[in-house]
Chains A and B, each alone.
Chain A
Amino acid sequence: MKKRVPAVDGWLNIDPAHPRLIGTKCSACGSIFFPREAVRCRNPRCGSPNLEATELSARGTLWSYTGAEYQPPEPYVPRTNPFQPFAIAAVELAAEKMVVLGQVDGVGVKDLKIGMEMELTLDTLLEDDETETITWKWKPVSGGSHS
């Protein structure tokens, strides 16, 4: 069994039963940050150094989306040869009142519609003989129908 590691250390919980993005929350003002902010709360009227890890909501609504039809340049590493286009989603999280990007799992742009409910999933970003690097993706809750 290969060793599983997150795409970026500390950014996500890669437990398949509980996939979550991990941000930080300011203990003083409640501001939430993703990617994690560890030094100083970026609310300019707060600035507290007390930031604690917090898991973000695993569901949100699709704010917008686009597709990568051409292979992005390095440091992107293609998973397939030839390159397979993929969709990128911007998902709005209600509780956090923020929008988080992610590649789309399983479906393409044709299956997406702004406002649809999306959920966080895990997928392989990179792989070598010993290690599987895990990233997060967004996936339509409905499976991507036009409903």
Chain B
Amino acid sequence: MVDQVAILGVGMHPWGKWGKNFVEYGVKAAEDALKDAGVAWTDIQYVAGGDTIRNGYPGYVAGATFAQALGWNGAQISSSYGACASGTQAIEAARVRILAGLCDVALVVGSDTTPKGFLAPNKGTRGDDPDWLRFRVLGATNTTYFGLYARRRMSLYGATSEDFAQVKVKNARHGLTNVNARYRKEVNAEEVLSSAMVADPLRLLDICATSDGGAAMVLCSMEFARRFTTNPVTIAGISAVTPTYPSTVIEMPNFSTDSAAAVAMPARPFRDSIAYAAYEQAGIAPEEVNVAEVYDLSTALELDWYENIGLCPTGDAVKLLRDGDTTIGGRVPVNPSGGLACFGEAVPAQAIAQVCELTWQLRGQAGARQVEGAKVGITANQGLFGHGSSVIVKR
């Protein structure tokens, strides 16, 4: 077990398609997190930014961009990119800084403005970039990979399109009253099943949108937190692991898996190893988890995560869903925020937003979507090119 750091404040800019500069969302989220913490911006000693790659140079140096927008205060900074895991990279940068004793209080911010439609590579011709080549040669979008996983789950474990639709129905209901969610509307299974096919077997309403949004948090040492509260939500573990060779499940943006011809497969496939590392660090077992926020880029992928984070044995995810275990009121609610189904993805903000939601849940401040008595929560997410992302919080 490692030492903990406290989450003193959290804040978000609502998700949507607002069409404004990403900095505005980040600043609003940061202001809310600072206010929630009761800490002045001028007292922040370290700023960790999650980068966006679709908003020019300011997005590549997000830490400095947010620090300048809030008013230069001389804080040390970092800017992190790990695709969908960027937010976790930023949280980890701040946590490590605090645990090392190099600062007492830090601000983590991520925000994005996204284009409409499929996420695509940046412009230009790059014949040696696998992300560019997979679009060019295969026409493989992100949804291609989600479709492969979904079809595989159907074949191996008997999941159906109806099951996938029920994930959407559940998450839509969870997010109904979440003021930060972009989509707040009940969806029924028929609507999902009759929406346009995008990446067989996944339909439009099985797949998350891309959104604008911002999330932020104030992290501090346990000692610093005592000035403000006797019972803070803390970070007990963070995993930002890479795969172990040979990684034998096809991952975005690759053309192939590693070969297991010369080296046997590792004990855990990559996605299982992500949460495992966080559990190990936290000294917490999957059975102790009360609430989870997982990356439902597709409805089917949410089911994969149930197994990857140890909520049930491999192959049992559909049973967990059908039994209502992952619905608010069930044994271990998943995506009480509404998940990506209600938010749409704002890449560098999303992993931070997951932790914001768990913080509200553990404080008992989640209102109509409150998971009663939640003491331990886990996030799970993955960034393309081999970025694991999982945060365990407790109170």
Instruction: Give chain A's interface residues, CB within 8 Å of chain B.
Output: 7-9, 26, 29-35, 42-45, 63-70, 72-77, 86-88, 90, 95-103, 109, 114-115, 125, 135
Bound Cα distance A26, B152 (Å): 31
Q: How many residues of B contact A (CB 8 A)?
A: 49
B322 to chain A, nearest CB (A): 22
Interface residues in B250-292 (C-beta closer than 8 Å to A): 250, 254-263
Bound Cα distance A115, B148 (Å): 13
- Of the residues A33, A90, A109, contact of B250 by C-beta under 8 Å: A90
A114 x B130 contact (CB < 8 A) = no
B262 x A43 contact (CB < 8 A) = yes
B199 x A68 contact (CB < 8 A) = yes
Is B132 an interface position by the 8 A CB rule?
yes
Take A72-B118, A109-B200 as given contacts and tell me if A98 and B135 are in contact as well, using a CB distance cutoff of 8 Å: no
A73 x B151 contact (CB < 8 A) = no
Is B231 an interface position by the 8 A CB rule?
no
Interface residues in B134-162 (C-beta closer than 8 Å to A): 134-141, 143-144, 146-152, 155
Taking CB atoms, residues of chain A closer than 8 Å to B138 are: 88, 101-103
Take A99-B257, A101-B138 as given contacts and tell me if A74 and B147 are in contact as well, using a CB distance cutoff of 8 Å: no
Is B197 an interface position by the 8 A CB rule?
yes
Can you identify 6 A-B contacts, CB atoms within 8 angstroms? A31-B261, A34-B255, A73-B117, A75-B121, A88-B144, A100-B255
B154 to chain A, nearest CB (A): 9
Given known contacts A29-B263, A42-B245, A103-B139, what 6 new A-B pairs fall within 8 Å (CB)? Answer: A9-B127, A31-B259, A64-B148, A68-B140, A96-B261, A98-B258
Is B196 an interface position by the 8 A CB rule?
yes
Taking CB atoms, residues of chain B closer than 8 Å to A102 are: 138
B137 x A125 contact (CB < 8 A) = yes
Q: Of all chain B residues, which has the CB nearest A91? A: B256
Taking CB atoms, residues of chain A closer than 8 Å to B55 are: none
- Of the residues A30, A75, A100, contact of B262 by C-beta under 8 Å: A30
Taking CB atoms, residues of chain A closer than 8 Å to B134 are: 101
Bound Cα distance A95, B134 (Å): 24
- Of the residues B135, B196, B250, contact of A69 by C-beta under 8 Å: B196
B152 x A72 contact (CB < 8 A) = no
A-B pairs, top 3 by smallest CB distance, nearest first, are A66-B147, A67-B200, A73-B120
A14 to chain B, nearest CB (A): 13
A141 to chain B, nearest CB (A): 19
Bound Cα distance A31, B256 (Å): 14
Q: Of all chain B residues, which has the CB nearest A65? A: B151
Is B96 an interface position by the 8 A CB rule?
no
Q: Of all chain A residues, which has the CB nearest B260? A: A97
B256 x A100 contact (CB < 8 A) = yes
A26 x B139 contact (CB < 8 A) = no
Taking CB atoms, residues of chain B closer than 8 Å to A125 are: 137
